[in-house]
Structure 1
Amino acid sequence: MGAVVRFDAVREHERTRAALAGAVARLGQLLSSTRDLDAPSGLPSWTVGDTAAHLAAVHLAYSSAVTDEPVDWSGILPSGEDGLLAERIAAVNAKAIALFDGEQRSRIGEFISERAAAFLGATAGLDPEDPVATPWYGPERSLTVAAATGLVLSETLLHGLDIARGTGDAWPITQDEASLVLGQAIPTMMPLALDTTRSRGVRRSFDLAFDGGLRLSVVVDDGTMTVTRDDTPTRPHDCRITADPVTFLLVSFKRAPMWKAIALGRMRAGGRKPWLATSLSKLVATP
């Protein structure tokens, strides 16, 4: 695995921005060559067009959060803070897909490219720690610019894969792209997605070590979770998960089966309690 790589937050944020621009360009090419938007996608209940519409809504949401073109979320977002993050996102998804229907879907690739450019333009030069309002994650919720950029990259890569699986096209995700998502977005999103009911009374810690040097420390403590980078713990973690970053990303978001990753040696468990490895995915909800 090699030594832990200490990261430069500003430089890594710039790399994430460049990766997002590249992924959006690839997505535009993929969508422009797609002839059947009604074909099943890589997601069980969505067509290629549905998946693209969801992704368009994602880019609209994040671009509106950093520009002077606000979205009226009152008719889209569920009220209150009840429910898991996955339930809130599912409710938003159901409405978001309807925002891009009919003729609008014929130019959805152009729309995504425009909104991605607006997001990148508005956030250029901002401090990676500056806040971005994200009400779809809950009232008064906000993320840092770095986390928001990482999340938009994650959505673009994963849903690009879903679309490509529906069209039969190639959609490679590189180790560098996956590492940027894991380093920039996951430390924020894992605690947000924690199942507080299942994690109540649970106390355990995980050392996530990825090919390339990225390291995350995950601590679950009675309904709360903290995720830190390049952490030096005061005591050994309960479980260490060693993984290829692309594999971990795909398994975490249910785009690849865990058993296959383990069989191929792309995910391995160690530490004092290696059997706890599979429990991590049960504690974190995936929208």
Structure 2
Amino acid sequence: MGDVSEQWPVVRDVLSEVTGRFADLVRSAEPSALATPDWTVADTAAHVVAIASIYTTLLAPDGAEVADPVLAARIPTVTVDTVADLNDLALRRFTERDPATLAAMMRSTVATILETTEGTDPTRTVPWLGDSRVPVAGVLAHLVNEQLVHGWDIARGVSAPWPIPAREAALFFELFIVGMMRNDVGGVLGDAPTGDRRIAVAFRSRHTTPVTLVLHRGRVSLDPDGPVDVRLTFDPAVLNLVLFGRVSRTRAALTGKLRVGGPRPWLLPAFLRTVRLPTNAVPLSAD
């Protein structure tokens, strides 16, 4: 993993910039248009604002008042298989749907997050879903990615442009995914298979530090020196859209932005069935 201290000012600047773009998109889009099969533009924006609101508490110093105790109580037990239930609960409890209000709330909430974390050690971990531990820098990177992916949903729903620069998307893999693996995954992956077969996948991109993730006996870890089964060369924006079910692996491979190699490439699907992220019930794009 790259030097987090060097990436810390980058993720802060990117979060501020992406928030401005996301807020502008929300204000300009038709709120009743469908961004996903189940969520309107307004619902999607409300989902992202609700996450940002939760993060103001998560990232605050100890003793900060919890904004929503009901949601806070659910977070330690949530896995990728049950996060949709948490999302539905959050949308029921967070009722604002006016685009201008949501855009303003997103800007002010992110401003609070950036102010709260100024001077914070970016490697300090905080509890995340499923009792996992994520570095503060990773939490900011996750919020960047939430806006990039859901901005993609909104833009596609209203036929608006929404570029996802590779350098912005790379922060999610580098700071959030690898940051969690380096600390504690907890139970966020749910009931993982516990077979003895070790699967090692080397992730390579021009925008990220080379890293190898290993799935063994239901646990995921980093292993920079062991043998590799699969080599995955990726564009970070495309990888994130694949991981969140927005683009199929076949389509990504056909673009050349997701390339699979190594001595045992057929093991990648088994790896991704465990090391997976919630898709918010969005169907894969057509192959």
TM above 0.5: yes
Aligned to 2:2, what secondary structure does the other structure show?
Answer: coil
Report whether the alignment pairs 1:33 with 2:28.
Answer: yes
Residues 194 and 225 in structure 1, CA contact (< 8 A), matched pair in contact too: no
TM-score (ref. length: structure 2): 0.86
Deviation of residue 104 (structure 1)?
Answer: 5.0
Which amino acid is the alignment partner of residue 239 of structure 1? V
2:90 to 81, 90, 96: 96
> Does the C-alpha gap of structure 1 residues 206 and 45 become closer, same or farther in structure 2, counting only changes over 3 Å?
same
What whole-Å deviation, never above 9, does each CA across 1:216-246 have from its counterpart, x for those lacking one? 2101110100146xx3x1x321111111222
Residue matched to 2:285: none
Equivalent residues in 2 for 1:70-109 (5 A)?
Answer: 70-74=66-70, 77-78=73-74, 81=77, 85-101=79-95, 106-109=100-103
Q: Tell me, what secondary structure is at the counterpart of 1:107?
A: helix
- The answer for the alignment partner of 2:105 in structure 1 is 111
User: Contact 1:211/1:245 (CA < 8 Å) preserved in 2?
Assistant: no
1:55 aligns with one of 44, 48, 53: 48
Residues 149-208 of structure 1, C-alpha deviation per residue, up to 9 Å, x if partnerless? 111111111111111112221111101011111101112456454353335444211101
Gaps of 5+ in 1: 1-5
User: More deviation in 67-76 or 177-186?
Assistant: 67-76
Match of 2:267 among 247, 267, 276: 276
Q: How far apart are 1:249 and its partner, in Å?
A: 1.4
Whole-Å separation in 1 of the counterparts to 2:246 and 2:258:
15
Mapping of residues 50-199 of structure 1, within 5 Å: 50-67=43-60, 68-74=64-70, 77-78=73-74, 81=77, 85-101=79-95, 106-134=100-128, 137-138=129-130, 141-188=132-179, 191=185, 193-199=188-194
1:95 is displaced (CA, Å) by: 1.2
CA distance in 1, matches of 2:269, 2:263: 14
Aligned counterparts of 1:154 and 1:103: Cα–Cα separation in 2: 21
Say which SS state the counterpart of residue 122 (structure 2) adopts. Answer: coil
Aligned residue for 1:143, secondary structure, equals: strand
What residue number does 1:22 align with? 17
Structure 2: segments with no counterpart, 5+ residues: 279-287
In structure 2, relative to structure 1, the CA distance for the partners of 1:185 and 1:216 (3 Å cut) is: same
**How far does residue 99 in structure 1 lie from its aligned partner after superposition?**
3.0
1:215 aligns with 2:206: no
Structure 1 residue 80: Cα displacement: 7.4
In 1, the alpha carbon distance for the partners of 2:75 and 2:21 equals 36
**Residue 79 and residue 58 in structure 1: after superposition, are their counterparts in 2 closer, same or farther (change >3 A)?**
closer
**Letter of the structure 2 residue corresponding to residue 138 of structure 1:** G
Task: Describe the SS at the equivalent of 1:185.
Answer: helix
TM-superposed CA distance for 1:69, in Å, is: 4.4
The letter of the residue matching 2:130 is G
Equivalent pair of 2:235/2:258 in contact (CA under 8 Å): yes
Tell me, yes or no, if the aligned pair for 2:243 and 2:276 is still in contact at 8 Å: no
- SS at structure 1 position matched to 2:202: strand
Partner secondary structure for residue 116 of structure 2: helix
Cα distance in structure 2, aligned partners of 1:119 and 1:212: 26
Give distance in 1, aligned partners of 2:219 and 2:232: 20
The alignment yields a C-alpha RMSD, in angstroms, of: 2.3
C-alpha contact (below 8 Å) 1:129/1:144 kept by paired residues: yes
Classify 1:243/1:199 alpha carbon distance in 2 versus 1 (closer, same or farther; 3 Å).
Answer: farther
Match of 2:282 in 1: none
> Kindly tell me: are residues 142 and 271 of structure 1, through their superposed partners in 2, closer, same or farther at Cα, counting changes over 3 Å?
closer
Distance, in Å, in 2 between the alignment partners of 1:274 and 1:203 is: 13
2:51 maps to a residue whose letter is V
TM-score (norm 1): 0.86
Superposed displacement of residue 39, structure 1: 0.9
Q: CA deviation at 1:16?
A: 0.9
> Do the aligned partners of 1:239 and 1:276 also contact (CA within 8 Å) in 2?
yes
| Distance (whole Å) between structure 1 residues aligned to residue 167 and residue 215 of structure 2 | 27
Partner of 1:44: 37
Q: Find the aligned partners of 1:25 and 1:31 in 2 and give their Cα distance.
A: 10
Match of 1:226 in 2: 221
Q: How many Å separate the matches in 2 of 1:104 and 1:125?
A: 34
